[in-house]
């Protein structure tokens, strides 16, 4: 491991944060250095502190501890994420023999200079009790590989000699803080403290000294591992059945919808059963595939995490699936159920407080033989975080296995950490949006209606795969959306080509794990009286509007059936399907065909729980940035036919409706959201979004 410290960058931090003072500026710098290295900390893990002074409300200089606050990530922490607590009141607590968790939290919050600040780290007292100005706490992979062993002392002593103090696992809080402070007092020349199955503490008189000690000790651990393991076949590169990359991809395409469906949970709600769905993040690097193919993988997946700090995100154990098991719905379902039952037994055996409810027993991580791992969470960001942790977990377990034998904490200790009130407080979930966990697939997403549908689905919490035949137009339309990039995926596909449709769905599966709501929306228009229609152009309209809908329905059906959790299909038809206009026969016929396909699908797809409905929109013009392609194609003809200009045509369509209102793309999007939410037992329906046109009332 190499130091990333650069003197000029350090000076730049001091210049940019001159108002904070040098100590806090450099605390930010080294915190960011630690947070930028995933082999040291991951996703909010670890904590850092600096002891300095600050003026209180009376203008007095008081000694304070600036320590990482709950919810902050070392890679991006700001000064506000290092709340200031008065140091002396905290140090006085060391004289106590005992201090329960709630009293510790009260004492720490009571010492805050700013009551609006985030909660300081649960390990604040650990930082406060040490005399050093700077303290760094990481969960370095190499350190964990040494200590997740039957005899951690053997390897720690061999790697570091007397330069560090080794402590056994102690639950974070007051007891750990006292134990660390006592150990450092007994060994004042030590460079750090190794916490068995937990991580590494380093400290120093200045920021660089503390940081350099972290890097130096982790480097020594890495060199020790390389020396001990070098020359022997590693579990991460064993030739024992890992599939080639192309085959991994093909297996994933089959496995992800099955696994995603089996992990989803049905819950009762006032409107009937609803699914709690997840999205998937797969990792199939060569070394992960090799791990997953190794004979020791099932046993290692059944052991606990490499550090208990990960247990809340990943749960204590991973689900291991054989390849055939992962693609067979019944077998996968039984494996998931067995995993959930094992978690329930773990919870029951370790439960200490009858008032604390059990967390979801469904697996958060699945390892598939010869392929890699899959993380399962309600959002792509959460799934990616779990996948990152799982990647490091498998690699550390492999190192520990190669060194000797991986041994994590006993289940009782894991459960104590997982259900620790101070750990559970980190969850505090925000109210879930309406389409939380759902994945939607929208065609024709570059046009006005398509972009409006995508925007509405994203706003209501769905992940969306948006596809269109025009890549440039699609990019411009999607760029307007103020949406998290991790919930939006795009592809270019010509719906006339079944292979292109299949490829777009495959991309959606690999990105999110499957699909729940499918919106066949793409369409083209052609104006002209029947006697003048070019048959070839007529067939082109049919191929896109009706044929494309068929290809999407076929591909969606196979995926939705494999998932086994129902879903929704919302076909975008048109007022023309019910009330065709003169000179618009090709379009009307294609939309009538799409409507009949939707009605037929409602009959056929009900057997696997999928609801198929249609939205009947009319006169949706869009705006200058994302105009309606249909009106670009036929608007001039419609204006000539009625002797109107562009503004007059818009007014004509607005005034002919019963509600005298303009239909916006977002209105169509909200209609799709209504069906996607599946809060009514509705299938085979048509929902007009046209302002009210009696001649187009569905009959």
Q: Does 250 lie in the same domain as 156? A: no
CA distance 533 to 37: 64
* pLDDT surpasses 90 at 633: no
Torsion of CA 178, 181, 185, 188, to 10 degrees: 160
Mapping DSSP to helix (H, G, I), strand (E, B) and coil, where does residue 461 land? Answer: coil
Residue 185's pLDDT is 97
Comparing CA positions, the residue from 451, 62, 488, 3 lying closest to residue 202 is 3
Report yes or no: 141 and 41 within 8 Å, Cβ to Cβ: no
397 and 470 both lie in a single domain = no
Q: What is the pLDDT of residues 5-22, one digit of tens each?
A: 999 999 999 999 999 999
CA distance 691 to 699: 17
Residue 376 burial class via C-beta count within 10 angstroms: exposed 0-12, middle 13-18, buried 19 and up: buried
| pLDDT score, position 355 | 81
307 and 257 inside one domain: yes
pLDDT band at 649 (very low <50, low <70, confident <90, very high): low
In this predicted structure, what is the pLDDT of residue 428?
72
- Report how far residue 288's alpha carbon sits from residue 274's, in angstroms, rounded to the nearest whole number: 34
- What's the burial of 472, exposed, middle or buried (CB within 10 Å: 0-12/13-18/19+)? exposed
Task: Catalogue the active-site residues.
Answer: 587
pLDDT in tens, 150-174: 999 999 999 999 999 999 999 999 9
C-alpha pair distances (Å), 535 with each of 462, 515, 531, 582: 40, 36, 10, 17
What is the residue-wise DSSP string for 119-147?
PBPTTHHHHHHS-SSEEEEE--HHHHHHH
DSSP assignment string, 294-322: STTHHHHHTS--SSGGGHHHH-SS-EEE-
Q: Is the model's pLDDT at 624 over the cut of 70?
A: no
Domain boundary among 191, 210, 229: 229
- Count up the domains in the chain and report the number: 3
- How many helices and strands in the chain, by DSSP H and E? 27, 20
Contact 658, 694 (CB under 8 A): yes
Q: How many residues does the structure list for the chain?
A: 699
506 and 580 fall within a common domain:
yes
Residue 286 lies in a domain: yes
In a domain, 243, yes or no: yes
3-state secondary structure (DSSP) of residue 588: helix
What value does the mean pLDDT take over residues 491-516?
Answer: 98
Percentage, residues of the chain above pLDDT 70: 96
Short-list 628, 307, 315, 691, CA closest to 452: 628
Q: In this predicted model, what pLDDT tens digit does every residue of 403-424 receive, in sequence order?
A: 999 999 999 999 999 999 998 8
Residue appearing with tokens 């004042």: 188
The answer to whether residue 698 sits within a structural domain is no
Q: Give me the residue label for tokens 């100005």.
A: 133
Checking if the pLDDT of 542 tops 70, the result is: yes
Confidence of residue 632 (pLDDT cuts 50, 70, 90): low
Q: What is the pLDDT of residue 165?
A: 98
Residues 300 and 262 in one domain: yes
Cα distances from 494 to residues 499, 502, 508, 523, 692, in angstroms, run 9, 11, 16, 11, 33
123 plus 262 within the same structural domain? no
Please report whether residue 254 resides in a domain.
yes
Average pLDDT over residues 189-210: 97
Res. 362 pLDDT band, cuts 50 70 90:
very high
Same domain, 178 and 316: no
Mean per-residue pLDDT, 237-256: 93
Average pLDDT over residues 65-69: 97
Give residue 182's Cα distance to chain centre. Answer: 41
With the C-alpha atoms ordered 309, 310, 312, 317, is the resulting torsion angle positive or negative? negative
Asked if residue 631 has pLDDT above 60, the reply is no
In this structure, what is the dihedral angle of CA atoms 329, 333, 336, 342, given to the nearest 10 degrees? -150
* CATH code, 413: 3.40.225
- Owning domain of residue 584: 439-620+664-689
Burial (CB count within 10 angstroms: exposed 0-12, middle 13-18, buried 19+), residue 485: exposed
Residue 640, pLDDT score = 67
Q: What percent of the chain has pLDDT over 90?
A: 81
Residue 282 is classified by DSSP as E
Q: What is the pLDDT of residue 412?
A: 92
Instruction: Report pLDDT digits (tens) over 465-495.
Output: 999 999 999 999 999 886 677 999 999 999 9
pLDDT value for 22? 97
Residue 638, in any domain of the structure: no
- Let me know whether 240 and 225 are in one domain: no
* Model pTM above 0.95: no
- Give SS3 for 85: strand
Say what the pLDDT of residue 622 is.
66
d(CA 487, CA 384): 12
| pLDDT confidence of residue 621 | 76
Cα–Cα distance between 204 and 664 in angstroms, integer?
A: 62
pLDDT in tens, 578-622: 988 888 889 999 999 999 999 999 999 999 999 999 999 987 876
**Residue 377 clears pLDDT 90, i.e. is over it:** yes
- The CATH number given to whatever domain includes residue 512 is 3.40.50.720
User: Are residue 469 and residue 400 in the same domain, yes or no?
Assistant: no
The pLDDT assigned to 623 comes to 67
- pLDDT for position 639: 59
Q: Which of 208, 229, 250 is the last residue of a domain?
A: 229
Residues with Cβ within 8 Å of 644's Cβ and at least 6 positions away in sequence, in order, are 638, 652
122 and 48 within one domain: yes
Question: Does residue 653 surpass a pLDDT of 70?
Answer: yes
Q: Is residue 586 part of a domain?
A: yes
Comparing 582-586, 601-605, 661-665, 666-670, which segment has the lowest mean pLDDT? Answer: 582-586
d(CA 310, CA 426): 12
Q: Is residue 631 in some structural domain? A: no
Residue with tokens 């209609």: 671
- Of 229, 256, 286, which closes a domain? 229
Mean pLDDT for all residues in the chain: 93
355 backbone dihedrals φ, ψ, rounded to 5° = -80, -10
Tell me if residue 21 falls in helix, strand or coil: coil
Nearest C-alpha neighbor of 124 from the set 142, 107, 148, 138: 107
Is 531 a domain residue? yes
The reply to whether 251 and 384 lie within a common domain is yes
Identify whether residues 268 and 405 lie together within a single domain. Answer: yes
User: Contact 139/199 with Cβ under 8 angstroms?
Assistant: yes
pLDDT value at residue 698: 85
Q: Indicate which CATH number applies to the domain containing 191.
A: 3.40.225.10
**pLDDT digit string (tens) for 255-284?**
999 999 999 998 988 888 899 999 999 999
Angle between helices 585-605 and 535-542 (to 10 degrees): 30
Q: Check residues 185 and 628 and name the one with the higher pLDDT.
A: 185
């Amino acid at each position: 491991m190499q130091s990333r410290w650069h003197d000029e960058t350090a000076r730049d931090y001091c210049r940019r944060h001159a108002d904070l003072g040098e100590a806090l500026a450099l605390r930010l710098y080294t915190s960011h250095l630690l947070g930028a290295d995933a082999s040291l900390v991951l996703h909010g893990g670890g904590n850092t502190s600096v002891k300095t002074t600050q003026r209180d409300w009376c203008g007095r200089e008081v000694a304070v501890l600036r320590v990482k606050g709950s919810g902050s990530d070392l890679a991006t922490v700001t000064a506000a994420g290092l709340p200031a607590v008065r140091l002396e009141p905290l140090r006085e607590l060391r004289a106590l023999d005992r201090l329960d968790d709630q009293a510790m939290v009260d004492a720490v919050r009571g010492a805050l200079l700013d009551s609006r600040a985030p909660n300081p780290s649960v390990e604040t007292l650990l930082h406060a009790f040490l005399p050093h100005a700077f303290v760094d706490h990481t969960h370095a992979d190499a350190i964990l590989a040494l200590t997740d062993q039957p005899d951690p002392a053997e390897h720690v002593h061999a790697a570091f000699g007397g330069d560090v103090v080794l402590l056994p696992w102690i639950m974070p809080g007051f007891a750990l803080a006292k134990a660390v402070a006592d150990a450092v007092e007994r060994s004042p020349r030590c460079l750090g403290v190794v916490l068995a199955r937990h991580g590494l503490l380093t400290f120093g008189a200045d920021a660089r000294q503390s940081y350099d000690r972290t890097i130096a000790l982790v480097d020594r651990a890495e060199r020790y591992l390389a020396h001990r393991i070098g020359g022997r076949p590693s579990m991460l590169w064993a030739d024992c059945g890992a599939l080639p990359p192309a085959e991994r991809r093909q297996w994933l395409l089959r496995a992800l919808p099955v696994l995603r469906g089996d992990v989803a949970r049905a819950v009762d709600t006032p409107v009937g059963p609803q699914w709690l769905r997840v999205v998937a993040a797969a990792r199939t690097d060569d070394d992960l595939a090799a791990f997953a193919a190794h004979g020791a993988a099932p046993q290692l997946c059944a052991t606990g995490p490499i550090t208990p700090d990960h247990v809340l995100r990943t749960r204590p154990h991973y689900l291991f699936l054989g390849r055939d098991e992962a693609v067979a719905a019944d077998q996968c379902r039984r494996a998931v159920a067995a995993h959930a039952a094992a978690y329930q037994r773990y919870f029951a055996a370790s439960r200490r407080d009858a008032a604390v409810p059990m967390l979801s027993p469904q697996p958060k991580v699945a390892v598939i033989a010869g392929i890699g791992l899959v993380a399962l969470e309600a959002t792509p960001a959460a799934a990616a975080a779990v996948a990152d942790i799982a990647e490091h977990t498998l690699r550390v377990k492999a190192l520990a296995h190669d060194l000797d034998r991986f041994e994590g904490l006993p289940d009782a200790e894991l459960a104590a950490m997982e259900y620790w009130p101070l750990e559970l407080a980190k969850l505090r979930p925000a109210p879930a949006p309406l389409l939380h966990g759902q994945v939607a697939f929208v065609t024709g997403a570059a046009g006005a209606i398509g972009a409006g549908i995508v925007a509405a689905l994203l706003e209501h919490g769905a992940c969306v795969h948006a596809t269109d035949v025009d890549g440039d137009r699609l990019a411009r339309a999607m760029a307007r959306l103020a949406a998290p990039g991790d919930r939006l995926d795009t592809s270019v596909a010509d719906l006339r080509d079944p292979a292109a449709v299949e490829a777009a769905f495959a991309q959606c599966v690999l990105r999110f794990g499957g699909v729940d709501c499918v919106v066949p929306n793409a369409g083209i228009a052609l104006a002209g009286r029947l006697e003048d229609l070019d048959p070839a152009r007529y067939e082109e309209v049919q191929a896109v509007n009706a044929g494309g809908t068929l290809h999407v329905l076929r591909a969606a059906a196979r995926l939705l059936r494999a998932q086994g959790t129902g879903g929704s299909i919302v076909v975008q038809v048109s007022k023309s399907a019910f009330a065709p206009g003169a000179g618009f026969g090709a379009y009307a016929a294609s939309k009538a065909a799409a409507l009949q396909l939707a009605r037929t699908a409602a009959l056929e797809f009900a057997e696997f729980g999928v609801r198929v409905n249609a939205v009947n929109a009319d006169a949706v013009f869009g705006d200058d940035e994302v105009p309606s392609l249909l009106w670009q194609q036929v608007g001039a003809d419609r204006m000539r036919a009625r002797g109107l200009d562009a503004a007059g045509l818009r007014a004509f369509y607005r005034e002919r409706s019963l509600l005298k209102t303009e239909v916006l793309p977002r209105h169509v999007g909200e209609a799709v959201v209504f069906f996607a939410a599946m809060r009514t037992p509705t299938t085979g329906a048509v929902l007009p979004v046209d302002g009210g046109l009696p001649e187009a009332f569905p009959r």
